């Protein structure tokens, strides 16, 4: 097995023009590596949703990606306010986005559910007042 390819991204807070740059870059990298289109699509959707959440809710954060022979792992971490009720946050349609964010077309409450839907493994660790770490893994088949 070869050593994973590692990529790091910083997502600025409240910068919706730049949110999506990491997922676009990762998508291009995966295509160059010959990762199957179906896996690239799932990874891109999950990571884009995560980027938007970092920008909207956490004041920005960091994404660490490991591209292995069999899977892609993405770890999104922030030092935002944390998620008080993860179970509630995972419900489709639940959102704490501001009216301003919603007016921009974001904050429909599908981010976390879509992140889980498009990944093979999904885990949230969140502490109120400390931040959140989300780990996602997608198999490359």
How far, in Å, CA of 136 to CA of 53, rounded?
A: 14
Q: State the pLDDT at residue 1.
A: 59
Residues, the chain: 141
pLDDT tens digits for the chain (141 residues)?
589 999 999 999 878 778 889 999 999 999 999 999 999 999 999 999 999 999 988 899 999 999 999 999 999 999 999 999 999 888 888 887 777 777 666 777 778 999 999 999 999 999 999 999 999 999 998
pTM: 0.91
The number of CA neighbours under 13 Å toward the Cβ of 83 is: 24
Number of CB atoms found within 10 A of residue 106's CB: 19
How far, in Å, CA of 31 to CA of 14, rounded?
A: 29
The number of CA neighbours under 13 Å toward the Cβ of 119 is: 26
How far, in Å, CA of 36 to CA of 17, rounded?
A: 28
């Amino acid at each position: 097995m070869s050593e994973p390819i590692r990529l790091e991204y910083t997502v600025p807070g409240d910068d919706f023009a730049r949110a999506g740059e990491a997922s676009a870059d990762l998508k291009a990298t995966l295509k160059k590596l010959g990762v199957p289109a179906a896996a690239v699509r799932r990874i891109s959707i999950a990571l884009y949703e995560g980027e938007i959440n970092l920008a909207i809710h956490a004041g920005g954060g960091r994404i660490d990606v490991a591209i292995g022979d069999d899977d892609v792992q993405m770890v999104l971490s922030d030092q935002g306010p944390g998620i008080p009720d993860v179970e509630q946050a995972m419900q489709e349609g639940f959102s704490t986005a501001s009216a301003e964010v919603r007016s921009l077309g974001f904050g429909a409450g599908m981010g976390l559910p879509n992140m889980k839907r498009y990944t093979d493994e999904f885990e949230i660790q969140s502490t109120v007042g400390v931040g959140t770490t989300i780990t996602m893994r997608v198999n490359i088949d």
